[in-house]
Structure 1
Amino acid sequence: MAVNAIIAHFDPYSERSKNWHKLLTAIRPHVQKAVVVSTGISQQDSETAKQLGFSVIARDNVGYDFMSYAVGFDVLQGDARADKILFTNDSYFISDEEKFTDSLSKLLSAKDGAAFLTCSSQIIRHGQSYLFAIDRKVFSQRLFHEFLSGVRPQPTRLSVIFAYEIGLTHCLNDLNVSFSSLVDTSGLSGRISSEQRKRGINPTHDYAEEIEDRCGIVKYERLVKNPLRLAETPRMAAIALAAATTAARAPMQVSQLEPPAVVICHCHYEEVVDELILKLERLPDGCEIHVTSSNPSVLSAFKTRWKRKKVYLNVLATENKGRDVLPFFVALRLLGLADNIPILKIHGKRSLYSPLGEKWRKDLLDQLLPDFGGINDIIRQFETSPKLAMIGAQGSYVSDLGYWGANERRVCEFMERGGYATPTSDDLGFYAGTMFWIRSQCANEILESVDFAQFESEGGERDGTYGHVLERAIPMALHSQGWTLLEAGCEKELSPELARERKLEYF
């Protein structure tokens, strides 16, 4: 059986490159000729497709997937050898390659004139258009040609569903052609609630777990946005985390032109996402943000709520370990930044043990992400002061010996192992709260001394962890080498003896 394929694609920033490679690799053995029609594709993903033998057509980002299907069909319809045409887009995450490959085989071996991965009973029973196969007895008909050639841009996604997804079902009915699906909501309707019945069932959301179990895929919209606010099962949460993890490139990539600044932001609590976004929106164009979290909902929230076109935001799933410190060094290692790029390390810490914990976070963020002009001033300081290593928030640098806590021995061990001068007790001096600007050269130097195996699993400790050790050791190590430490808005160089009497107000 000869099969052709048309693949609608949109991923201009290569955020799903690993999944894209999985998709093409799974399709390739089933098809003789295939065309990718993209409304946004990177050079990397285009080359991946071409290397696997797919033609690539780029078009304007209008008309949703059916416009891409129409363009691809116009290219392929002259091939008289094809028995089937596989239509698909790249809107789903492949969680199980073996099940997905088996699903492709079943679609292509179906006896019906059209076979869909899923059917929806919403509005009317119709095949869903993200993955389906059409037989020659359908695509050779003039009525089918007219249907695809009549595709035009629609104002909304709902308009596309009415005009073309449901419209395709009407076309099949007019041709007196039966269609089937691997997963049909009519066979699952006994499990729906009255609320679901009232709003109508969307199988890719309401039955995502069943579809994943049978077919090995989950729609990205269900994983990332979850617009129906459905309860997360452990399985869906695990897949969402896997999808977020595969979105990160290895190594992660920044712009070909060096960004004016890079932010590495760790966030565990979804309730502070909007606050962090408001602060991050103050960044100048060209900056890059890399968000780390072990919480898939946090990563999804950042990706869906971030609107700045000229400030790139990437998400990276990390394990719940090492608080905000381990994720920072994981991201730093993946980024491989050149020297002299200012890095802002921030996080969504809530410090629930303190009644002033929320105020502490807000104060630190406002100091480190002031207005647009203030951020540019900080960036400019790194450009004009070649020995500047770090800038912290005003009042955050402390050296009272009581702040050693349970960390002095391990700080000394870190310094000795890294080749820094062994500190005395009086050398203590660090930015409390672990939020600061740091020169990339300095961060990379510290990275070489970090022992990732020493990070403990999260246990809610307030002191004595490897993260608390590094909070103190980073500025101490750099200061011991003659690097300059500052606080935002102040030009006076910091040293432990200048802050010995300073006390934090947040405890």
Structure 2
Amino acid sequence: MTSPLPPVVFVHVHYPDIWREMAADLAAAFDRPFGLVLTASCRTTSLVRPQTPHLCFVHEIQVENRGRDVLPFLIALNRLDLTFDIGLKLHTKHSEHHDSGDDWRRFLTRSLLAGDGNPDALALMERLPVLGLMAPAAHLLPLDRRIGLNGPALAALAPRIGLSGDLAAIEKLFFAAGTMFWFRRAALARFRDLDDLFEAERRQTDGTAAHAAERLFAAAVEHAGFVAASMDAVPVLRVLGEGAAPLPDKASLAAIAQAEANKDNPFTSPVSALLRRHRWLLVAAHHASARLPYPLWRLARRLFRLVATR
């Protein structure tokens, strides 16, 4: 059943050239009304619009360059007077630290937009009210050994959104890697009044409030009484609730979501795997990125990749 409220797509545009491609993807994905909220910092030209008759409104907000894509999303989510139930969070992910950054972004967005004019994730969330978040395929991942340098940021953020700041407990959770996902607005109700946690941008590679929020969105959704799943579960979830069959309860849906989640992320690089195994290397990379001149940091990063992949 289609919701009477159009979904709203939130996109943080840090790279306008990438947004042009994403705008075309959005136009092709929807044969039904949807709204669009664009956040951007330090821009001088108007952002392009998806060329589609199904776009029913656009809000454009200029924000400071702080909090990566997360703080702009929260600002838009909480300060605009929008009436909607289901939203989609995207951003112009570039991932300069990753050799396949553009391919990674396309994988994320196209996984979330998959469907024949009505994205599969959106259709499922409209049919299954207990679904609170849908992550891209292969991107609902265990937090075990993925906390990295984010311990202090997680400990600061978790209590503010109603979660325990115990890192041992957090490591047992799952997260939506890449910070792109479909979400139910009610499931993110606790993400309010958090601006003070977000640091100024200094090319940090880890350890910020934005990195912490990435690791807690799915946990907050489940704490609010909803289920977080990934697009891997679509084939199974699609048949639930059809016809006269009763809707599954939360426990059954959560079990399916966990069983179907593909934990083998194809974009986990050898470098990332090495950093997760050796925390001291992660600490060194973090400090180098913050202190070295950018050209020198890029050279050091390339050399490290070369060594790590041998």
TM-score w.r.t. the length of structure 1 is 0.44
Match in the other structure for 1:477: 220
Give the alignment partner of residue 355 of structure 1, picking from 99, 102, 121.
99
Q: 2:87 is paired with a residue of what secondary structure?
A: strand
Match in the other structure for 2:140: 397
What are the equivalent positions in structure 2 for 1:299-338 lying under 5 Å apart?
Answer: 300-303=46-49, 306-311=50-55, 312-338=57-83
Give how far 1:407 is off. Answer: 1.5
Matched, 1:272 2:18: yes
CA contact (8 A) 2:139 2:265 kept: no
Q: 1:301 is paired with a residue of what secondary structure?
A: coil
Match in the other structure for 1:493: 254
Deviations 1:393-418 (Å, cap 9, x if unpaired)?
Answer: 11011115221111134323322233
* Partner Cα distance (1:486, 1:277) in 2: 25
Matched, 1:438 2:200: no
Match in the other structure for 1:84: none
CA contact (8 A) 1:426 1:496 kept: no
Give how far 1:429 is off. Answer: 1.1
Match in the other structure for 2:37: 290
Matched, 1:459 2:220: no
Matched, 1:447 2:191: yes
Give how far 1:441 is off. Answer: 1.1
Match in the other structure for 1:415: 158
Give how far 1:302 is off. Answer: 1.5
* Partner Cα distance (2:137, 2:106) in 1: 13
Matched, 1:369 2:108: no
* Partner Cα distance (1:451, 1:269) in 2: 25
* Partner Cα distance (2:91, 2:112) in 1: 12
- Percent identity (aligned): 27
Q: Label 1:338 to 1:270 Cα distance change in 2 as closer, same or farther (>3 A).
A: closer
* Partner Cα distance (1:503, 1:370) in 2: 18
Give how far 1:425 is off. Answer: 4.1
Deviations 1:384-439 (Å, cap 9, x if unpaired)?
Answer: 21211100111011115221111134323322233334551443310110000000
CA contact (8 A) 2:157 2:209 kept: no
**Number of equivalenced pairs:** 244
* Partner Cα distance (2:172, 2:196) in 1: 26
Give how far 1:352 is off. Answer: 0.9
The one-letter amino acid paired with 2:114 is P
Q: 1:493 is paired with a residue of what secondary structure?
A: helix
CA contact (8 A) 1:342 1:379 kept: yes
Q: 1:389 is paired with a residue of what secondary structure?
A: strand
* Partner Cα distance (1:462, 1:405) in 2: 10
* Partner Cα distance (1:356, 1:463) in 2: 19
Q: Label 1:421 to 1:453 Cα distance change in 2 as closer, same or farther (>3 A).
A: closer
Match in the other structure for 1:249: none
CA contact (8 A) 2:150 2:212 kept: yes
* Partner Cα distance (2:171, 2:109) in 1: 29
* Partner Cα distance (1:489, 1:501) in 2: 10
Q: Label 1:506 to 1:374 Cα distance change in 2 as closer, same or farther (>3 A).
A: farther
CA contact (8 A) 1:259 1:288 kept: no
Match in the other structure for 1:237: none
Give how far 1:455 is off. Answer: 0.9
Matched, 1:343 2:87: yes
Match in the other structure for 2:267: 505
Q: Which has the higher contact order (CA 8 A, sep 6+)?
A: 2
Unaligned runs of 5+ in 1: 1-256
Give how far 1:370 is off. Answer: 1.8
Match in the other structure for 1:101: none
The one-letter amino acid paired with 2:36 is I
Q: Label 1:466 to 1:504 Cα distance change in 2 as closer, same or farther (>3 A).
A: farther
Deviations 1:202-254 (Å, cap 9, x if unpaired)?
Answer: xxxxxxxxxxxxxxxxxxxxxxxxxxxxxxxxxxxxxxxxxxxxxxxxxxxxx
Q: Which moved more, 1:357-366 or 1:312-321?
A: 312-321
CA contact (8 A) 1:351 1:358 kept: yes
* Partner Cα distance (2:225, 2:165) in 1: 14
Unaligned runs of 5+ in 2: 238-252, 270-310
Give how far 1:295 is off. Answer: 3.5
Give how far 1:461 is off. Answer: 1.3
The one-letter amino acid paired with 1:398 is L
* Partner Cα distance (2:231, 2:259) in 1: 19
Give how far 1:326 is off. Answer: 0.7
- Computing the radius of gyration over CA atoms, which structure comes out larger, 1 or 2? 1
Q: 1:265 is paired with a residue of what secondary structure?
A: strand
* Partner Cα distance (1:384, 1:466) in 2: 33
Q: Which aligned runs of 4 or more in structure 1 are off by greater than 4 angstroms?
A: 494-501
Q: 2:37 is paired with a residue of what secondary structure?
A: strand
TM-score w.r.t. the length of structure 2 is 0.71
Q: 1:345 is paired with a residue of what secondary structure?
A: strand
* Partner Cα distance (1:446, 1:279) in 2: 30
Give how far 1:496 is off. Answer: 7.3
Give how far 1:258 is off. Answer: 5.8
Q: Label 1:497 to 1:308 Cα distance change in 2 as closer, same or farther (>3 A).
A: closer
Deviations 1:121-150 (Å, cap 9, x if unpaired)?
Answer: xxxxxxxxxxxxxxxxxxxxxxxxxxxxxx
Provide the alpha-carbon RMSD of the alignment.
2.6
The one-letter amino acid paired with 2:46 is S
* Partner Cα distance (2:160, 2:26) in 1: 36
CA contact (8 A) 1:329 1:447 kept: yes
Give how far 1:380 is off. Answer: 2.5
